[in-house]
Structure 1
Amino acid sequence: MTLGYAIDEWMRTSELEDSTRKTYEGYIERTIRPAIGALPARKVDARALESFYTELRRCRIRCDGTPFIVHKTTDTHDCADKECKPHTCTPLAASTVRQIHSIISGTLSAAKRWTWISDNPALDARRPKQKPPEPDPPTSAEAARLVEAAFEMDEDWGTLVWLAMTTGMRRGELCGLRFARIDFDAEVIDLRRNWVLGKEKDTKTHQNRRIALDSETIVLLSEHEMRARNRLEDLRKEFTNDLFVFTGTKTPDHSQPYSPNAVTQRYKDMATRLGIDTHLHALRHYSATELLTAGVDLPTVAGRLGHGGGGATTLRVYAAWVAASDRKAAEILGSRMPKRTPKIEGER
């Protein structure tokens, strides 16, 4: 029984999210199967896996180091015309190799359960260390420029960017949001769904959450709903709460959500025009770091972001800002204590 066969059986029997399955299939076909898929599963050991990971961290195609030309076509051609170039080794990211390790480890764990092998060598194999999270949110000044530019482009786009900043919602959550999930009276969003790969599904952590909204955001969303109602009236269609809040120009009736990829690209283009090096996901970081540095407690921030683990993920990602919040808390307490006059000149 080959490792490739075991992987196929593991993939067939595993319950994976569609997006995860698609990612795994790409790693299997491009990287795992060509390299070690033909090996008998019982001969895969920790040393073989560590050598495989080391090769991938050196060069993603695992070349032998001998220089060669990357040809643009297999037909007879003039390399100058086809712009063929010498191969340059490009390593796979540590995070990617860790995902490849997860596929192999999951496969071998299943093979052990199925009594195909006696143990799982992936448990002993060393994998690349996980890089510490390095969130890089825009500054307050940059955030102000971004949201102002978004509203100048059009009111709908400005509202989307504003909501991303003030709630920290994920891209798919923004795109999958329906009017029915906005409670204008209670001033909350009841977040239950996510839009990924053209499908509506649970949120990333499979948790429903309610996000409180400030009065200004409620006003903007109310105006946005009125614009949607007017559009549908012009189109001679009926407005229903089941419609998507944000939609692209191709579906002005709000029957389909804004494409997540289109949102990402539009935001990136806008930021580039402003000369700001950032991306859409950084707005989630902006929301989190602004709250933490303002002294909002960790569980509340974790709840708004939809992080699991009781705030462990939030603490790991935003440790520096949590420390800054702790320093601010210390200063607040110190300022409220009665002032003491040193008894000895120069005493600390």
Structure 2
Amino acid sequence: MSLLLSPSNIGNCQLKNKIVMPPMCMYKSDDSAKVKPFHSLHYTSKALGNVGLIIVEATAIEARGRISNNDLGIWEDSQLSGHKSLVEQVHDFGSKIAIQLAHAGRKSLVKQTNPVAPSSIPFDINSEFKVPEALNLEEINLIKQQFLDSAKRAKEAGYDILELHAAHGYLLCEFLSPLTNKREDIYGGSLENRCRLTLEIAKLLKEQIDLPLIVRISASEWKTNGWDIEDSIYLSKELEKLGVDSIHVSAGGNQKEPDLMPELLPLYQCEYAKKIKENINIPVIAVGLITTAKQGESLLENKSCDFVAYGRELLRNPNLVFKFAKEFNETQLIESSYLRAYL
């Protein structure tokens, strides 16, 4: 059997293959931040298509933590029923489902609220992005509790895995970077201090929520003197010590005008995943313009990662796994009602 289509585990959660749908914002909710019919169809179609792990898009832990007014949320109990229904529908087709718990920080464009950040540095001063308010220690403690409370709701909703969003320039990523974190307290300055909040939240979730935990990071912010791969290796090692079950490796997003951004070619972020995997013993998820079965299989064969995330390609083709099963001559993995299309 191909490596890509063979089962594997994240923590104690067994996935039927190594194909991951990464979180991708859909902007299809409204100010209620509740799951809508679009989300049910969007995610369940990937489960029908045999994706091993489906990670629901960035889901806010408080109202001002949304990226936009059309994002999902899980900060209050009234939002739970939609998540429960979504999880049940995905489980009906045998896939596992995770939720990405997120706070947008200074990149929030929610109309009714002011964004918050480690320091009062806007993402882009000449645009619709507002100048964020710097969080005080009491507010940081509240955000830690909000992550925990949202994780408890996710557990109640039936999600199989949690993902903590510390990538792409959102709040936790902002704390990690020396360019966006200019604090002079225990959450700023040294690398250890800048990693503190992400590590504290991960520790809380591992200690109090009995679910596997993935942490998604930007391996580099592609900016001179900014967060880089060596910092990411340090953070990944510390997360592993806390019992985190997997690292999901992306890049960028924290700078409006990165000066070290690589050319956007297929597999352009996968070298980051490989470097991190070489330094830790927990599974690594690779992402970044991966589109073919051959690419995914090669990444696994070369030990660049343990799971392969197909984002845009799953938007184009919800039945991508069936296509791969045909290519690998493993047609027994194709949903029987669809099999005639692949003979």
After TM superposition, the score normalised by the length of structure 1 is: 0.23
Structure number with the higher helix fraction is 1
TM-score, length of structure 2 as denominator length: 0.23
Which of these two proteins has the greater Rg computed from alpha carbons? 1
